[in-house]
Structures are given as C-alpha cells and as structure tokens.
C-alpha cells in the first residue's frame, strides 16, 4: 500500500525518485507550452486558456486517481501529506503571487522549465525569485506573528465546506468542465483566427467531458473504503460464508497470566473505554486506523495471534472480520467481547457446588481474577499504549 516513503523507499533513494519525477514534471510542462510566458499570461487576457485547461485537468486527474487508489486499498490517504492551512497568510500570499504572475509572466515551476530551453526572461524571473525569498527571510521578524497566524492545521476542503468528499469531488469536476466550455467560447471570440482551441476535435472533447462528469457522479455515490468494507463484513451472507478463530475468556486469561509471547491483544474499543480498563499487554486501535498502513508493523506478524476485542460479541466479530478482509493473518476474536471477559474472569460469579470440573473452573477464574486485576492495576501507572503513530512524511514547498 502506498505511499512507499519511508518504509520501502529510503531517504537516499527518495532523492533519485525526486529527480525522476522532476524530469517527468519538466517534460510535461514544456510539452504543454508552459515554457512560454505569453501563453501563461494569456489566461488573464482571454487569448489563451492553456494554463487553466492543463492546471484543472491535472488537479482533477490526480484527485480522482488518489480517491480511486484509496478506495481499492492501494493508497493510504491518511499518510499523504496535506499542506496545512494558515488562512489569512494563504490569501495574502496568493494575492501577492497573482501580482507576480501578471507582472512576471511565470510561476516558479514554469520559470525553471522555460529557463531550461533558453528563455532569458525566465532566468530574470528566477533571479528575482531568489532575491524575493532573501528579502522575505531578512525582514521575517517584522511579520513573523502574521506569518504564523490563523493556523488551522491540515484541514480538508470538503470538511471546511461541510459536505462529503465525494460530493466535493463531483463539484470540482463539474466546475472544471464548465470552465473548459466557457473559456473555449471566450477564447474563440477574443482571438478569431489563432485561438489554440480552434484545433480541438470537438466530438472527442465532448465525450471526454461527459466521461469525467460520470466519474464525478460515481464519486458522490462511492462509499469510503471503511464504510464499504464494514458494511460488507456485517452482512448476513458474509457471516455465513466466513469464519474467524474464537478464543474463550478462560483461554485468553490463561495466556495473559502466562505472558505468552505469541499473543497480541488488539482492543478496538473507544479510547476512553480503553483508558478506563485495558487488559495487560493490549494495544488500543481505532477502526478507522485499520485502513491505513500505520498499524502494519503491529498487525502483520504472522506468528503472533491477534486477539481482537470489542465491547461485545458483534463488535469483536466485525473488527476481526475486517482484519481478515484487509489481508492480515492469524486473527482471532474474544468470545463475547470485553463484556463477557469482565463477567467471566474479572468479576466471576463463583458457584460453590457443581461437578469437579465446575469447581476447577471456578478456582481458575478466582485466581485469574486476582492476578489479572493486579496486572491491570500495575499497568495503570504506566503510559497507556496507543497503537497509532505520528506521521513521518514531510512535504510542502
């Protein structure tokens, strides 16, 4: 599951990847005509909308690709760097860049690409850029407070607008296709004989536009991978055709007291439930985090039995099925969930009469209750073990 940094691709190798991605980036920019300041500036004067077409198509393509890869489990979107928002500085910076675009005729990426083929104005643009960043750095204390203001973190646009991810994807696609249509009309009017869009094959373009709008409609109805898989494993037919190893409370109690190495208790309850009562050696995992790759180190050791615990039987079963569905092996569930473990082991109802077997079981449970309660009390003083780790990918400009 991607991204492959930092687990599979080392920092050194990542620099080679950066070079290769850069080569492809520069090649495509140049082929698109982004090495020409007159073409770039044309977007603001209506004689050439190449920038808008390339820019929006690229954004829609990369967004759609990411959403599809995430849906099929090939990409962990939670591990992808999302540039954080500093709202007012972003607006002010954007406005200043708008001036830079009109006056300079390039943006930094396109200026590098243009300089590579010999555009002298692009070389001046880069020189100016270096001086601009230098001036910013030298005067930084003057606006340091403003620079750090309105920090909102790595928020996502659909959350900011209060709509679903799929609906936002559809709106973005619809706006892009609408903008393509309108700007083509404007371009032909502004530039009767030499508009780039005069060479478009209209039928092909209409078919492609209809295609991506259909993709957008699909995004609206495409559930998240989490919702889709959870619904799948909770269905009656899935339960009838799949099974998971079941561990009884007594069995688990024995393994906990024995401090068996080959067992990892995975507690899927809410963090507050976990901090109130955590079994010895257990880790707390939230359902939504299962779908990323951050938990892979804990869950992927085949030699270790992952004993999944929910509050009750159904929660435990759903979580255990999900782990299996996600490809993890050697998964088991605690019979009856933590509720059952509490009734059976931690607070057992001791019957004094009964068969020899019943008496033995009762003795075991009484001892286990004392021992495990003691272990829980000892572990309480320590830092609780939360499985989710901090993100490691750095990004941004």
Partner 1 sequence: MKTKYMNPYLAGFFLGLVLLAAIFVTGRGLGASGAIKSIVIAAVDGVAPAHAEQSLFYGSYVGAGKDNPLKSWIVFEIAGVLIGGFLSGLISGRLKFVSEGGPRISVRSRWIFAAIGGALFGIGAQFARGCTSGAALTGMAVLSTAGFVTMMAIFGSGYMIAFFFRKLWI
Interacting positions 15-44 with partner 1 (CB under 8 A)? 15-33, 35-39, 41-44
User: What's the closest the beta carbon of residue 257 comes to partner 1, in angstroms?
Assistant: 42
Q: Does 297 bind partner 1 (CB under 8 A)?
A: no
Three-state DSSP class for residue 369: helix
Strand 245-247 with 151-153, pairing: unpaired
DSSP state letters, 249-280: HHHHHHHHHTT-TTEEEEE-S-HHHHHH---T
In angstroms, the CA 177 to CA 207 distance is 11
270 binds partner 1 (CB under 8 A): no
158 binds partner 1 (CB under 8 A): yes
Nearer to partner 1, 165 or 318 (CB): 165
Contacting range for partner 1; rule: CB under 8 A; set: 111-119, 259-267, 330-338, 345-353: 111-119
219 part of the interface to partner 1, by CB under 8 A? no
Does residue 167 touch partner 1 according to CB under 8 A? no
Residue of the chain from 71, 72, 73, 81 that contacts partner 1 (CB under 8 A) = 81
56 binds partner 1 (CB under 8 A): yes
Between 111 and 264, CB nearer to partner 1: 111
Closer CB to partner 1, 91 or 182, in the complex? 91
**Is 45 an interacting residue with respect to partner 1 (CB under 8 A)?**
yes
Residue 211 makes contact with partner 1 by CB under 8 A = no
DSSP code string of 290-335:
GGSSTTHHHH--TTSEEEEE-SSHHHHHHHHHHHHHTT--SEEEET
Nearest to 194 by CA among 44, 24, 46: 46
**Minimum CB separation from partner 1 for residue 159, in Å?**
8
- Pairing label, strands 85-86, 151-153: antiparallel
Using CB under 8 A as the binding rule, whether residue 206 contacts partner 1 is answered as: no
Ramachandran area for residue 33 (φ above 0: left; ψ -120 to 50: alpha; else beta): left
């Amino acid at each position: 599951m991607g991204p492959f940094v930092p687990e599979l691709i080392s920092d050194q190798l990542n620099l080679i990847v950066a070079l290769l991605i850069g080569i492809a980036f520069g090649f495509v920019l140049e082929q698109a005509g982004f090495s020409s300041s007159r073409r770039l500036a044309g977007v603001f004067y209506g004689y050439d909308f190449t920038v808008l077409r390339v820019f929006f198509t690229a954004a829609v393509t990369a967004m759609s690709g990411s959403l599809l890869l995430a849906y099929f489990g090939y990409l962990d979107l939670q591990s992808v760097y999302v540039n954080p928002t500093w709202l007012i500085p972003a607006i002010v910076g954007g406005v200043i860049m708008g001036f830079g675009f009109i006056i300079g005729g390039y943006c930094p990426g396109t200026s590098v690409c243009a300089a590579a083929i010999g555009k002298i104005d692009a070389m001046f643009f880069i020189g100016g850029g270096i001086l601009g960043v230098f001036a910013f750095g030298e005067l930084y204390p003057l606006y340091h407070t403003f620079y750090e203001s309105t920090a909102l973190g790595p928020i996502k646009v659909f959350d900011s607008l209060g709509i679903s991810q799929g609906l936002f994807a559809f709106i973005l696609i619809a706006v892009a296709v609408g903008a393509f249509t309108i700007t083509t009309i404007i371009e032909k009017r502004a530039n009767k004989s030499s508009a780039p869009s005069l060479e478009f094959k209209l039928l092909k373009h209409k078919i492609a536009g209809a295609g991506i709008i259909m993709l957008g409609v699909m995004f609206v109805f495409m559930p998240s991978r989490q919702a889709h898989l959870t619904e799948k494993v909770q269905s009656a037919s899935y339960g009838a055709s799949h099974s998971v190893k079941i561990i009884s409370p007594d069995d688990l109690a024995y393994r906990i007291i024995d401090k068996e190495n080959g067992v990892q208790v995975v507690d899927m309850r809410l963090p507050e439930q976990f901090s109130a009562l955590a079994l010895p050696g257990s880790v707390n995992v939230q359902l939504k985090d299962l779908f990323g790759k951050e938990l892979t180190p804990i869950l992927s050791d085949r030699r270790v039995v992952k004993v999944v615990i929910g509050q009750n039987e159904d929660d435990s079963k759903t979580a255990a099925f999900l782990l299996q569905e996600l490809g993890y092996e050697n998964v088991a569930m605690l019979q009856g969930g933590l509720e059952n473990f509490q009734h059976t082991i931690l607070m057992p109802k001791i019957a004094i009469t009964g068969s020899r077997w019943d008496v033995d079981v009762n003795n075991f449970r009484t001892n286990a209750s004392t021992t495990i309660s003691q272990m829980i009390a000892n572990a309480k003083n320590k830092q609780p073990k939360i499985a989710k780790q901090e993100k490691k990918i750095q990004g941004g400009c």
